[in-house]
């Protein structure tokens, strides 16, 4: 049980490290305008409307890769309940992304794809990482 808890915690840490690393690349390619207040939803909405599709694709890739790597690592560490651990991580990351989508407005196509990425990616990573038992 402790090993599974450690796997989940480490999975969350890995997810945030991977996601933030990839998104830092995105910020360097498409920086925020000087002096923009990220808490000002109207200013953020205006900025997001100027971003190219590439910026959104990089964010989606960060979630996909972050989810995959975090679940893969967690399953390799976990002792049992692999599917449950994958679902916990996928759901947690999805909830965090929904909170972000509520705070910062995004295009509707992006929001739909973003929310749909986490659970399938988590289950796919679990299937690849889980030891095969005969």
Residue 111, CB half-sphere, CA atoms under 13 Å: how many?
A: 12
- The 10s digit of each residue's pLDDT in 44-99 is 888 888 999 999 999 999 999 999 999 999 999 999 999 999 999 999 999 999 99
Residue 133 has pLDDT above 70, yes or no: no
Domain count of the chain?
Answer: 1
Residue 39: inside a domain, yes or no?
A: no
Is residue 92 in a domain? yes
Residue holding tokens 């959104």?
56
Residue 122 lies in a domain: yes
Residue 36 is assigned to a structural domain of this protein:
no
pLDDT of residue 128: 95
- Is residue 101 domain-resident? yes
25: containing domain:
2-31+44-129
- Is pLDDT of 129 > 80? yes
pLDDT tens-digit series, residues 93-121: 999 999 999 988 899 999 999 999 999 99
Asked whether residue 38 is domain-assigned, the answer is no
Which candidate, 76, 94, 71, places its Cα nearest to that of 14? 71
Residue 24 lies inside a defined structural domain of this protein:
yes
- Whether residue 125 is contained in a domain is answered as yes
Helices 108-129 & 53-77, crossing angle to 10 degrees?
Answer: 30
């Amino acid at each position: 049980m402790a090993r599974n808890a450690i796997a989940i915690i480490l999975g969350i840490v890995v997810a945030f490290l991977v996601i933030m690393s990839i998104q830092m690349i995105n910020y360097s390619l498409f920086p925020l305008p000087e002096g923009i207040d990220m808490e000002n939803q109207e200013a953020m909405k205006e900025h997001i409307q100027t971003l190219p599709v590439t910026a959104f694709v990089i964010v989606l890739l960060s979630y996909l890769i972050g989810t995959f790597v975090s679940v893969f690592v967690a399953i390799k560490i976990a002792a049992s309940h692999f599917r449950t651990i994958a679902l916990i991580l996928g759901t947690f990351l999805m909830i965090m992304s929904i909170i972000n989508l509520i705070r910062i407005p995004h295009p509707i196509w992006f929001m739909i794809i973003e929310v749909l990425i986490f659970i399938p990616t988590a289950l796919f990573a679990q299937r690849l990482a889980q030891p095969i038992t005969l």
